[in-house]
Structure 1
Amino acid sequence: MIDVYNPATESVIASVPVTTSVTPAVEAARAAQPAWAELSRAERATHLARLRDLLTEHADELAGIITAEMGAPLGVARKVQVGLPITVLSSTVAQLEAPEQDVRLGNSRIVRDPVGVVGAITPWNYPLHQTVAKLAPALAAGNTVVHKPSEIAPLSALRLHELVREAGLPDGVYTLVTGYGDPTGAELAGHPGIDLISFTGSTTAGRKVAALAAANVTRVALELGGKSANVILPDADHTAAVKVGVANCFLNSGQTCTAWTRMLVHESRHDEAVELAVAAAAKYTVGDPTDPSTRLGPLASAAQRDRVLSYVERGVADGAKMVHGGGAVPEVGYYVAPVVFADVDPDAVIAQEEIFGPVLSIIRYRDEDDAVRIANGTRYGLAGSVWSASQDHAVAVARRLRTGQVDVNGGAFNPLAPFGGVGHSGYGRELGTFGYEEFTTVKAIQL
């Protein structure tokens, strides 16, 4: 058994079993897949609509589970951690209800078939959303899914599994296996009965997943780490850009792969941005995630807390100026007070490696070319942001960034747009039409 801890209280709140073999789950998924694929798009849409409605009905319960298992403040858990999966399910249902595209090329009809059995391995930072982002399009396309959630935060997946059964989906369509990344996740990634592995997690773990899958020539989709840049051009509204940038960096206590952890500011406005960032960071209260006034809950585990604190120490040792940090935190719980570093060298460790905590690095740049060079100067490429008084100018700079998505002047997250990265941030896409197509194979029928 694996103990599950509440990161705010450090107490054991549940225990889940270590799956000794994933083969029964894979076999059940393979047995169920043909009948599920034979259902019409409308029938699959009905099943997923029922699941969406059940998530909506149990939203407060699910938010409470997520707060207890990984520490997100209740407001964030309800609005983001649960609200976003409901939105994703709604968009998937709408996609299935729309007429299927009939693509013709010359004398060929191009169709998309399900890949078969999908193995899904998800992390602890957005445990329900990362699951639904894989499950919804995979099921919509006619696949069945074997899912291994993180052992740190598996409880929302267990509740989801119950709701899937309550929604009336056939046995074997969604099967859950619990356990550690090794051996359970490793066995799933390397299982010959899996047709596609969709993995979200660290770049290090992603490499292992891809290597294990390669032995069976299994398709892989990887959504890995990030070190996203928030590029604030000199003519931008710095008050808005810095405020939104700090909020983005600190969302979910910084445990977000798309977080804008590098704030790039023209050297003429660096000090102004620092002052604004410090003022914004001071408003992020740390404490009990069930308290409505709390903006930053604990990190998800003791190991994650210690990892983040080690990066803070490294930043100070390497000469970055800590302009905000070291605030009081509760004695019990895996808490880290928010940190803002100024005058950060773009090649410093804290500017190059994913910290996954509430730590912001403010970096000077000389001109626009220098800003683009710094923004593209990491191994990652998942997200980013550009701010300018001219939207056209901001878009032009956004086109130069080597990353999977860019927000311009605070553009809202779009669950219909493709989500994924380049470089060490992985490959493949989730969400919307592109996410649906990730779980299909292309067939040409010559007429």
Structure 2
Amino acid sequence: MREYRQFYIGGEWIDPTQPQSHDVVNPATEQVAGQISLGSAADVDKAVAAARQAFESYSQTTVEQRGELFSAILGEYKKRAEDLAAAVTEEMGAPAKLSATAQVGMGLGHLATAAKVLKDYPFEEDRGTTRILREPVGVCAFITPWNWPLNQITCKVAPALATGCTMVLKPSEEAPFSAYILAEILDAAGVPAGVFNLVNGDGPTVGAALAGHDLVDMISITGSTRAGVEVARAAAPTVKRVHQELGGKSPNIILDDDAFAKGVKIGAAGVWSNSGQSCNAPTRMIVPAARMDEAASIAKASAEKVTVGDPTGDVKMGPVVSEAQFTKIQGLIQKGIDEGATLAAGGTGRPDGLDTGFYVKPTVFANVNNEMTIAREEIFGPVLVILPYDSVEDAIAIGNDTPYGLAAYVSGADQDAVRAVASKLRAGQVNLNGAPVDLNAPFGGYKQSGNGREWGETAFADFLETKAVIGYTPAPVEG
């Protein structure tokens, strides 16, 4: 059993001020896999003080010095890749192959991307007689979730390190193992003491203390819209910068052409990945009304091919992260049945043969309308809902009829038609025809999906203040 009872503060592993044990449950076995300590406001004070002290020197480091640091971090990360993958599978149930490739790979990708952007980023530029300086925002606080732990930690930590900021991380208490290993990686790479700090805890205690702390200059949260609202409220009195990457209910519009079947297959597969626990999952498929039965049949076949089981083995889908999530998803599946949607595949209960573990059946609902609960609420599980449309304009209206705007998807044989639909969707990222992930593409949402953008060069802006030094280059004297 893993025991990670200390916090990483000021370059050292130290005991909590008021130890409070928390069990971390393996969702595949329902057994305790490890224990951590939950922190307090006093621990947050220590971590923020360490970050504040370190900022004085780290903010003055050169691009070259930070580039050398990234080289060391990347080397240490690769050494610990197997450890990271095993931790992710154990803490949140991602299948071993997914953990080793996508989960660990996304973390490595964000670090490598930030290192590349750093080399040529315009921290200074002249506009006439004025010099524009882009300087680190200061001490940053990060609150991250359990579903893609390394992805969501590194897409904050990497640009913060690159721009000269210092930071305090509160990872999810449900999936903290990989965050501890990442702290060990940063320590081994020689990240200066106090630049990166880790304090475990829950949202109402450690999260709220970070959000309201008067020595924190920026807070970035990835989580539910509800949690994002609470963080913004706590941050408001200190007028700190607030970055939010929140919920989603992403539309996936399948156009009526020869690529229809392919589009449905790709869309359904995107829902089963990571057990549907992705804020940008294409869970709301929108298809021509006349092809509803065809779409349901294709999606049903996709769901029935998914292997579900022990994530340490060769399966496509493991469990969802916790009993609470399992119960929530079961309730929403039942709600879909009660509200009259057509259950095409899956349903309530565990898959056959799985009596232990928080396993959910890959589920497909057809003939859904946008007023149903399953079309409105973020289920965060392997549940696909299929809605009909009468015209492309109708499909766009249905797609935009949501309080969220994190991601959207469009597929079709005519690239111009696909692009035209994409231009009318209110979402921060629109994927066309199953294009692969682009780590340089800005990631973030419209509406209640948040504020700000992560990933690639665009992410740097959220960690920088802009200073105009007027008269930096005096105008030549005439005559």
Aligned-pair identity in percent equals 45
The answer on whether the counterparts of 2:106 and 2:150 sit within 8 Å (CA) in structure 1 is no
Counterpart of 1:11 in structure 2 is 31
- 1:36-435 to structure 2, matched below 5 A, reads 36-98=58-120, 100=122, 102-292=124-314, 294-326=315-347, 327-328=351-352, 330-435=354-459
Q: CA deviation at 1:107?
A: 2.5
Give the match's secondary structure for 1:120: strand
| Runs (5+) with no aligned partner, structure 1 | none
The answer on whether the counterparts of 2:80 and 2:185 sit within 8 Å (CA) in structure 1 is no
The answer on whether the counterparts of 1:342 and 1:361 sit within 8 Å (CA) in structure 2 is yes
Q: Which stretch of the first structure deviates more once superposed, 351-360 or 43-52?
A: 43-52
The answer on whether the counterparts of 1:221 and 1:426 sit within 8 Å (CA) in structure 2 is yes
Tell me how far apart the structure 2 counterparts of residues 128 and 233 of structure 1 sit (CA, whole Å): 35
Q: In the alignment, residue 338 of structure 2 is paired with which amino acid?
A: A
Tell me how far apart the structure 1 counterparts of residues 118 and 469 of structure 2 sit (CA, whole Å): 22
Q: CA deviation at 1:148?
A: 0.2
Tell me how far apart the structure 2 counterparts of residues 226 and 329 of structure 1 sit (CA, whole Å): 32
Deviations 1:311-348 (A, max 9, x none): 00000000001000044251111111110000001121
The answer on whether the counterparts of 1:287 and 1:329 sit within 8 Å (CA) in structure 2 is no
Report the CA distance shift for 1:99/1:258 in structure 2 as closer, same or farther (over 3 A).
Answer: closer
Counterpart check, 1:436 vs 2:456: no
Q: In the alignment, residue 175 of structure 2 is paired with which amino acid?
A: A
Deviations 1:123-152 (A, max 9, x none): 000111100000000111100010000110
Tell me how far apart the structure 2 counterparts of residues 281 and 127 of structure 1 sit (CA, whole Å): 26
Q: In the alignment, residue 299 of structure 1 is paired with which amino acid?
A: V
Q: Which stretch of the first structure deviates more once superposed, 268-277 or 253-262?
A: 268-277
Provide the aligned C-alpha RMSD in A. 1.1
Q: CA deviation at 1:104?
A: 3.2
Tell me how far apart the structure 2 counterparts of residues 183 and 236 of structure 1 sit (CA, whole Å): 53
Give the match's secondary structure for 1:272: helix
Tell me how far apart the structure 1 counterparts of residues 416 and 111 of structure 2 sit (CA, whole Å): 33
Q: In the alignment, residue 82 of structure 2 is paired with which amino acid?
A: D
Tell me how far apart the structure 2 counterparts of residues 240 and 33 of structure 1 sit (CA, whole Å): 51
Deviations 1:100-120 (A, max 9, x none): 364333332212110000000
Q: CA deviation at 1:99?
A: 5.7
Q: In the alignment, residue 28 of structure 1 is paired with which amino acid?
A: A
Tell me how far apart the structure 1 counterparts of residues 470 and 419 of structure 2 sit (CA, whole Å): 41
Give the match's secondary structure for 1:80: helix
Corresponding residue pairs, total: 446
Give the match's secondary structure for 2:133: strand
Tell me how far apart the structure 1 counterparts of residues 225 and 444 of structure 2 sit (CA, whole Å): 13
Runs of 4+ in 1 over 6 A off after TM superposition: none
Tell me how far apart the structure 1 counterparts of residues 180 and 318 of structure 2 sit (CA, whole Å): 23
TM-score for the superposition, normalised by structure 2: 0.92
Q: CA deviation at 1:274?
A: 1.1
Tell me how far apart the structure 2 counterparts of residues 135 and 41 of structure 1 sit (CA, whole Å): 16
Give the match's secondary structure for 1:282: helix
Q: CA deviation at 1:170?
A: 0.7
Q: Which stretch of the first structure deviates more once superposed, 394-403 or 88-97?
A: 88-97
Report the CA distance shift for 1:180/1:236 in structure 2 as closer, same or farther (over 3 A).
Answer: farther
| Runs (5+) with no aligned partner, structure 2 | 1-20, 472-479
Give the match's secondary structure for 2:423: helix
Q: Which stretch of the first structure deviates more once superposed, 325-334 or 4-13?
A: 325-334
Tell me how far apart the structure 2 counterparts of residues 78 and 210 of structure 1 sit (CA, whole Å): 34
The answer on whether the counterparts of 2:141 and 2:210 sit within 8 Å (CA) in structure 1 is yes
Tell me how far apart the structure 2 counterparts of residues 79 and 48 of structure 1 sit (CA, whole Å): 21
